[in-house]
Chain A
């Protein structure tokens, strides 16, 4: 028996004995599809493997902070408390924007044609997720969608069970546009962990998308890519200037352009509810986060990968339905990476 076990171990090791460098990442499930794509494409002609696990933004932040992974990805920048904790453990954490994307309200209503999509505005989205709108044929929804044959059915809200950056983007939007329904007293500050007053919860973007695909009458929020791949219908959302916009790389780019007139020093910003007629209002960014003071061998692997990801890698992102970073931001990120590489340890 034990001989067999040793043999198995031996086989496992000899099968993969090439000396290959590996950096470990994890976190946001929002960015997972393109991360996996990047990781495969990057490893194809290099000896560096970027191993990324989709575990949720909260996980990414926490595991980077305690140092079990080299970099994390998150859709919500670290809050003050998290920064303070990181500082006490190993110093400053830097945020590097990787891609942008839209969070879309996905639903499963078999009777409705997918192409058009239901129209939502801030009041209806807020109402549905905060529990004041309970049926699909609610007057507010009907008023927005005069042509659609909305069923007389209860709305099943699906949210995230794990602390999530997608939740943070969506909650940031709802709290901005529905100040009456979302008060800090009733809901707390918007962040990765939100306890919605209604509905059920699933782990990961994939969990929410999967549940909505299976259950008619449900609604939830997922990253655009997941909605498209699973084949879920998603609605258009009325933006600040009153236009109904569907999420797409283009409309998210428009939002980014409108929101990023001035890029803050720490590169932490919010893209939700920006001005502009073409802007998709529930847009967000994925940041790679890691300690400024990374060990040299790690940094030598990580910064070239990040440089590649915000350069040639953006094309993969666009193909997968993400919005590439605006040029001005790419230049800022490149400068930041330069300074990281030039910084003597």
Chain B
């Protein structure tokens, strides 16, 4: 009892708890305030549009700002159809890959496979768009000409759907993999003992058991696909019309906002775009809530009824294990079953192959082109005027570092303290609301956070600034840090806390000196993952940081950032600029990969499970 923490009568001892609770409560309330503020901004800003157009907007298909027509259907259609293409492709592939990795693959393949799949999730969306533009669209164009489709550049609904499929694949795969792994061993062993083949186990035991979790994974992936901005706007063709063929062109809600928000000349036009943002927010929020609800229902159902019981008392699942269950005395797997088993093993293995193929295509393509384009000037010079060779993006590297630093400094304390509130003061009535809204915030498309930051910080100060950009990025980081911290705090054994209390420590002393340090490695992992997630972010920064051709001077000024140059230069056709886009993409990719691989090696933590909040 000679340690220093407790000194009865000390002010800190008496008031410390209240102060600390107030601080944590403030952080938690900040999360609440951000969500409430976001909704308020969207509703207030879009109100003139809904009031004036209302039902006309919902019914109309024509979006023509020049003539004051703001029908949303063509955009809704483009958003839905690209997401649908993505889901149709990504769900079977992702679930197949997950099943293969979980049930068939050997330990080393499983580790390598799940690692590679997660790297796919770490690639920034502007890099996906860049690659899609230069690699995917020519392929699609050839496919079109082979099948005699109307001539196009290869851009369009199909190309956008394909790139979305690649982008959401890791989410479907990783979460499905997790739930497949969660199927109790005894289930598989029971079926094996009955003579089932691997495929029969997958089909009859693992997938039915994991179904709610897989549905949830699909909903989360769908939420991401619906809100994706940069990759889609680069590939979809940007023509707001309803083209019933998947070979056609289109435009999506998020892409429309990115293209027109800062250029909207009339108040009504602007209001209409924010209205689109509100629509997108509602849809993605609904999809995310559905996902959480499914997860919650699945886990409570499991608690209510043991799995073995559930499976073996309902005949539906058992009939899949043909013959075996109905006739336990039959000899184990027939030749026919064996054959199906080996075919399906190949099918599932090829799912894995197809899933990670894009990773190698993207990494390889960008590594080769980027390395050729990298030189010292890139890191030290400012952009040269078009037509002059040389020049670099040094200022953009600095600007990106500034934005990410500001966002990190702002988001990390809020995220951690709010998580402490959730985990250490979990009896508070505020806690469930904060947890729910935190998760909701994680699912909000980044372009909407751009609208939010613009309205709050750019409009009133009448200046684009690093502050506004960093604010949008911080709002993206908070849910990731919050979730990572809360999960790791929960894993700190209660006994540690009890021991601390027994020594006379107060709640805040326990939190600051015992619980948080114990959870620190996991918290740091969460922070780095959040940094990796925002490092390549583009859409909200286009609306807030705006870009600049000079070194960032102060956070009050508009600020250059790397992703903007990738976006602008990649589409330009200028050979010099395109080279710099390659180099920029390589650098961005290297940073993000370094963060992800580093975390993985340092902690063994799985990337997607830590960033599940988005």
Spell out A's residues near B (CB within 8 Å).
1-2, 5-6, 8-9, 12-13, 15-16, 20, 22, 24, 26, 32-34, 36-37, 39-40, 43, 49, 51-56, 58-59, 61-63, 65-69, 81-82, 85, 153-154, 156, 158, 161-163, 188-189, 191-195, 199-204, 206-207, 209-215, 217-218, 225-226, 229-230, 232, 320
Task: Say yes or no: A206-B385 contact (C-beta < 8 A), given A5-B405, A162-B260.
Answer: no
Assess the A53–B549 pair: CB atoms within 8 A.
yes
Assess the A1–B524 pair: CB atoms within 8 A.
yes
Report which of B141, B152, B238 forms a contact with A203, defined as CB distance below 8 A: B238
Report which of B65, B153, B405, B574 forms a contact with A193, defined as CB distance below 8 A: B65
Rounded to whole angstroms, the CA-CA distance of A209 and B574 in the bound complex is 9
Residue of A nearest to B266 (CB): A81
In the assembled complex, 28 residue pairs joining A and B whose CB atoms fall closer than 8 Å, in A order, are A2-B409, A8-B405, A12-B401, A12-B405, A15-B551, A16-B553, A22-B550, A36-B383, A36-B385, A40-B385, A58-B260, A65-B265, A66-B462, A68-B458, A81-B266, A156-B151, A161-B238, A192-B265, A200-B155, A200-B156, A206-B568, A206-B569, A206-B574, A210-B578, A211-B153, A230-B573, A232-B573, A320-B385
Shortest distance from the beta carbon of A152 to any chain B beta carbon, whole Å: 11
Assess the A188–B405 pair: CB atoms within 8 A.
no
Shortest distance from the beta carbon of A293 to any chain B beta carbon, whole Å: 14
B552 at the interface (CB under 8 A from A): yes
Rounded to whole angstroms, the CA-CA distance of A253 and B415 in the bound complex is 60
Task: Say yes or no: A202-B549 contact (C-beta < 8 A), given A33-B386, A61-B265, A193-B66.
Answer: no
Task: Say yes or no: A229-B386 contact (C-beta < 8 A), given A1-B524, A162-B263.
Answer: yes
* Contacts A5-B405, A62-B264 supplied; 15 other A-B pairs, CB < 8 Å: A9-B405, A33-B386, A52-B549, A58-B260, A58-B264, A58-B265, A67-B462, A69-B464, A81-B265, A188-B67, A194-B66, A201-B238, A202-B238, A210-B578, A225-B387
- Chain B interfacial residues counted at CB < 8 A: 71
B219 at the interface (CB under 8 A from A): no
Rounded to whole angstroms, the CA-CA distance of A213 and B134 in the bound complex is 11
Report which of B138, B249, B384, B548 forms a contact with A53, defined as CB distance below 8 A: B548
Assess the A12–B66 pair: CB atoms within 8 A.
no
Assess the B408–A51 pair: CB atoms within 8 A.
no
Assess the B385–A33 pair: CB atoms within 8 A.
yes
B506 at the interface (CB under 8 A from A): no
Task: Say yes or no: A62-B262 contact (C-beta < 8 A), given A36-B385, A195-B66.
Answer: yes
Rounded to whole angstroms, the CA-CA distance of A188 and B69 in the bound complex is 11
Assess the A213–B408 pair: CB atoms within 8 A.
no
Assess the A59–B408 pair: CB atoms within 8 A.
no
Q: Which A residues touch B266, using CB under 8 A?
A: 81, 85
Q: Which B residues touch A215, using CB under 8 A?
A: 141, 153-154
Q: Which B residues touch A54, using CB under 8 A?
A: 568
B334 at the interface (CB under 8 A from A): no
Assess the B571–A202 pair: CB atoms within 8 A.
yes
Report which of A15, A66, A162, A191 forms a contact with B459, defined as CB distance below 8 A: A66
Assess the A68–B238 pair: CB atoms within 8 A.
no
Assess the A15–B573 pair: CB atoms within 8 A.
no
Assess the B263–A58 pair: CB atoms within 8 A.
yes
Q: Which B residues touch A65, using CB under 8 A?
A: 265
Q: Which B residues touch A52, using CB under 8 A?
A: 549
Task: Say yes or no: A8-B401 contact (C-beta < 8 A), given A36-B383, A81-B266.
Answer: yes
Contact string, B282-320, partner A, CB cutoff 8 A, digits 1/0? 000000000000000000000000000000000000000
